[in-house]
Structure 1
Amino acid sequence: MRLSLRLRPVCGALLAGLLTQAQATTHALPEFTALVAENGPKVVNISSKQRPLPAKRFPGVPTPDLPDDSPLQDFFRHFFGDQGDPGDAPGDAEQGRSLGSGFIVSADGYVLTNAHVVEGADEIVVRTSDRREFVATLVGSDKRSDVALLKLDAAGLPTVKIGSAKDLQVGEWVLAIGSPFGFEHSATAGIVSAKGRNLPSENYVPFIQTDVAINPGNSGGPLFNLDGEVIGVNSQIYSRTGGFMGLSFAIPIDVAMDVLEQLKTKGRVSRGWLGVLIQDVTRELAPTFGLPQPGGALVAQVLPDSPAAAVGLLPGDVILRYNDKEVATSSALPPLVGTTPVGESARLEVLRKGKPVRLQIKIAELPDEDQSDDGSDDKGAGAPEGKPNRLGMVASDLRADQREQLDLERGGVLVERVKEGPAAQAGLTAGDVILMLDGQDVADLAGFNRILEALEPGRSVAVLVERGDGRMFYAVRIPKP
């Protein structure tokens, strides 16, 4: 009894302290209610409709009568198409609908959303929070940034406040409003997880990564900061399930607004272009190019008749700065170049064979994406057998037909076989074409062997390889005897 009396004041003090701490923590959390109330009416729901294919039957294919929610429906649609009912007239089938979000950027009806939300749409329906519906006109869309601009026949619409992502900080609170799975005007919150993320399919957008819950239907919706300013356009998620897994990506509003202005004024988007293929400088490659640590964008290929070719940029050059801005990784370079106005000059700081080089380059316009890949990768059929060299591979001179296939007039040797050894450990495979070894151009097999034999054991050297339609450097360590 005495023990409990003595403990009672201590417990009371402890409880009071915990309550005070909890209250302080609660007060430190952001308040989103006013932000949602103010900006909810400025966010819209977007439905896009596509014309269905004519209903058709496949004679001889047994198609059981399945309920609409049966998983086998997807199987038959995938392999046999949308068969419809024998009595249906063409065009009777229900049109496909794609749900997404957007937000109003001007009172006269301009709406910003994602390009993939409206891609292939025959009709775009925009619904506001007060249940009004508008058939929107597509002003233009840009696949590379995944931004589309719509126009509504309306006036006096409420508009969002446009901010900037330049001063956004990792850890900062952000809020998304959209229509996940069609649930209109849903609000979700989280923090900025990272900035300047580059995704494999989007080289020209330095994405904002957040942990805000984003799901299908949120695409094209706004990402707000605590001041109620739009600082991003929700675009993609990383998911293994199709649903939210804590990795969401938004297009910085600065990028989106630049695209908007170009679409508005000329209906298309132009971007700056250097004409190089680049790669990251890895830990293994860094010392081979005279770098104390990984950094910069390593030039693997200079395209002919490009701005880079005109100023003498070379494979093996490492671009360290662009217009006085550091290029920490290869993914940092495309957004810098892409946002440079076509025709302007840019300053490059390059490391070439361990020595700094400064170049002035005139930016050209990025060409349309090349669709000419024929998918052929057979480079070594019928090659003769040979003894592996000190790298553990067999190389040979290229035949005339192989050069024609590769569009390679001169230089290079073909990797015929790769056995266990330094070449395999570096990632070289049969069919690769070696164009450069330790900074020296490879003219033919004899020249390649002379360079290889002269290399000091224990060193790591850079090997420039053409594989498929691209070129890349690999770091190969010369084995000791």
Structure 2
Amino acid sequence: MENRPSRSPLRSRRAKLLAGAVVLGTAGLMTLQTVVPAQLAQATPVRVDAAAPVDFSDVVGAVSPAVVSVRVKQAAEPRMMNFEGRNNFRDFFEDLPNGHPFEKFFRDFGGRGGDDARPNKRSPRSYGMSQGSGFFITGDGYVVTNQHVIEKGTEFTVIDHEGEEYDAVLIGADKRTDLALLKIEGGKDFTYVDFADEAPDVGEWTVAIGNPFGLGGSVTAGIVSARGRDIGAGPYDDFIQIDAPVNRGNSGGPAFNMNGEVIGVNAAIFSPSGGNVGIAFAIPASTAQDVIMELKDGGTVVRGWLGVQIQNVTDDIAESLGLGETRGAIVAEAQDNSPAQKAGLRSGDTILAVEGTKVEGPRDLSKIIAAFSPDTKVDLTIWRDGKEQDIAVTLGRLQDQQQAAAVSEAVEEETTSLDDMGLVLTTKAEAGLDGNGVVIAEIDPDGPAAEKRLREGDVILEVAGMKVNSPEDVLKAVKKAEEDGRKAVLFRVETNDTTRFVALPMKLA
């Protein structure tokens, strides 16, 4: 977002809010004392003085005018009925016997011909309707909400806290972070809110305002339960978990701190029933601010692209690679014609840092790379052949790609067993397949391979960094790893069209 010549209207109220919080906190002061074990009785007890707010009315009163409801009109696909070979819906009812309950219904409402038949009218085009929440981030009408709220929308209506409705246009949306930006054309000078500059601490109070179940203007409060949550929603998961009650319709609404700043955009709940159970997830302000700024500037989010399949480095994988600590993202495969492949990255390389920033795991790597613009040259620190190396990569542009996977079934013929690992292997030729690698013909359901989720039909491409094309190659590679004193041996395995690394433990002496 561009720099604004004047500060948010809420800024002028924050000093008063903070002063009020001090007064309220004094009235509701809570003193907590830990229970000290007998052996530590001589130590000074730990005391925590916490100011507990009596109410949230000042904060809510300040920010509520900036929170809106978002109504989305969606073109509904016509529902087709298949009556197995009949020409149309009318033909189905034409053949009904006299006196059938549907026969009278169709005569009265569908028209069967004759004097008492009603004219057959064309059904009006139907539409779907969804609702969510949002909030103003500028005085001229930019509104933040979730991408899943506006998805497939054809018309967008923003309803402010006073019930006034405004037509809005979609500026842009980003599916990967589930954020979208709407704009009201013209209109009055709207009250807006700012994103928080700092992430909230776990245990801080938070207030959620939104449109649950279409009620509009509903306020709930709770605390920040956790940060950095990965819920499997996408490659950039970094959610704030809050326990402020959030329900359907709250999506896209803001979660505020006690200064009236937006700490997150409510996006998801965890619930067996679909209602609030005290676990909700918000997109952090730091993520939202960057994405919204790009949407506002160009309508799309442009991210850097490396082009690798990556996975976590487990303790077993780290040991098998001779890596001193369990961190980084191991490359299962570099995609064809990708920046990674062109730079020389290969399977088995473990990415430890990007431009000096440590990579703790795949999620870190995805976020770090995405923050760079396409065509940016970055230096990667990788672990290869038992030592660190640096490699320069010029990033490409991330685009949505679809992958098609074909399932191959292994045919058991001549086989070789690795009993200690719970594997029975055969060649690709024996399995009726082409290409390189060794096919897993059987899995011991109680063996180490099954525990690592290997399955029949998987193809072993490499063992301990050595390419394998026969069960004998696998045996040799395992034996060499054992001679080198490894406690685990690293397999690169292909399942359908996806490759990954699996570390299988060696037989203990």
For the superposition of Structure 1 and Structure 2, which TM-score range results when normalised by the shorter chain?
Answer: 0.7 to 0.9
The residue that corresponds to 1:427 in the other structure is 453
Distance in 1 (CA, whole Å) between partners of 2:380 and 2:122 is: 59
Distance in 1 (CA, whole Å) between partners of 2:495 and 2:282 is: 33
The residue that corresponds to 2:495 in the other structure is 467
Distance in 2 (CA, whole Å) between partners of 1:168 and 1:330 is: 24
Matches within 5 A, 1:82-93: 86=110, 89-92=121-124
Q: Does 1:349 pair with 2:354? A: no
Change (3 A) 1:396 1:166: farther
Q: Does the 8 Å CA contact 2:416/2:471 hold for their aligned counterparts?
A: no
TM-fit CA distance, 1:91? 4.6
The residue that corresponds to 1:145 in the other structure is 177
The residue that corresponds to 1:450 in the other structure is 476
- The one-letter code of the counterpart of 1:386 is T
Q: Deviations for 1:88-138, whole angstroms, at most 9, x for unmatched residues?
A: 854547632211001111222111111110111222221111111112111
Distance in 1 (CA, whole Å) between partners of 2:312 and 2:439 is: 24
Q: Does 1:24 pair with 2:29? A: yes
The residue that corresponds to 2:331 in the other structure is 299
* SS of residue matched to 1:284: helix
The residue that corresponds to 1:252 in the other structure is 284
Distance in 2 (CA, whole Å) between partners of 1:130 and 1:268 is: 32
Q: Does 1:418 pair with 2:443? A: yes
TM-fit CA distance, 1:385? 4.6
Distance in 2 (CA, whole Å) between partners of 1:316 and 1:185 is: 53
Q: Deviations for 1:395-439, whole angstroms, at most 9, x for unmatched residues?
A: 2222499766xxxxx532111111253323333210111111122
Structure 2: gaps spanning 5 or more residues: 1-24, 32-49, 84-88, 103-108, 111-117
Change (3 A) 1:125 1:385: same
- The one-letter code of the counterpart of 2:29 is A
Matches within 5 A, 1:1-20: none
TM-fit CA distance, 1:318? 2.0
Distance in 1 (CA, whole Å) between partners of 2:295 and 2:498 is: 31
* SS of residue matched to 2:202: coil
Q: Does the 8 Å CA contact 1:137/1:152 hold for their aligned counterparts?
A: yes
The residue that corresponds to 1:126 in the other structure is 158
Change (3 A) 1:247 1:49: same
Matches within 5 A, 1:339-418: 339-370=371-402, 372-373=403-404, 375-380=405-410, 382-390=411-419, 391-399=421-429, 411-418=436-443
Change (3 A) 1:277 1:164: farther
Worse overlay, 292-301 or 395-404: 395-404
* SS of residue matched to 2:450: helix
Q: Does the 8 Å CA contact 2:427/2:471 hold for their aligned counterparts?
A: yes
Change (3 A) 1:127 1:402: farther
Aligned residues: 435
Distance in 1 (CA, whole Å) between partners of 2:479 and 2:439 is: 18
Q: Does the 8 Å CA contact 1:276/1:308 hold for their aligned counterparts?
A: yes
- How many percent identity over aligned positions? 37
Change (3 A) 1:293 1:193: farther
The residue that corresponds to 1:44 in the other structure is 68
Q: Does the 8 Å CA contact 1:195/1:208 hold for their aligned counterparts?
A: yes
TM-score (norm 2): 0.78
Change (3 A) 1:116 1:400: farther
The residue that corresponds to 1:479 in the other structure is 507
Q: Does 1:275 pair with 2:307? A: yes
Distance in 2 (CA, whole Å) between partners of 1:155 and 1:277 is: 48
Distance in 1 (CA, whole Å) between partners of 2:160 and 2:438 is: 62
Change (3 A) 1:130 1:367: same
Distance in 2 (CA, whole Å) between partners of 1:201 and 1:225 is: 24
TM-score (norm 1): 0.82
TM-fit CA distance, 1:202? 1.2
The residue that corresponds to 2:215 in the other structure is 183
Q: Does the 8 Å CA contact 1:435/1:466 hold for their aligned counterparts?
A: yes
Structure 1: gaps spanning 5 or more residues: 1-19, 66-84, 405-409
Distance in 2 (CA, whole Å) between partners of 1:415 and 1:429 is: 7
Q: Does the 8 Å CA contact 1:53/1:91 hold for their aligned counterparts?
A: no
Distance in 1 (CA, whole Å) between partners of 2:456 and 2:209 is: 51
TM-fit CA distance, 1:55? 6.9
Q: Does the 8 Å CA contact 2:255/2:264 hold for their aligned counterparts?
A: yes
Q: Does the 8 Å CA contact 1:55/1:93 hold for their aligned counterparts?
A: no
RMSD: 3.0
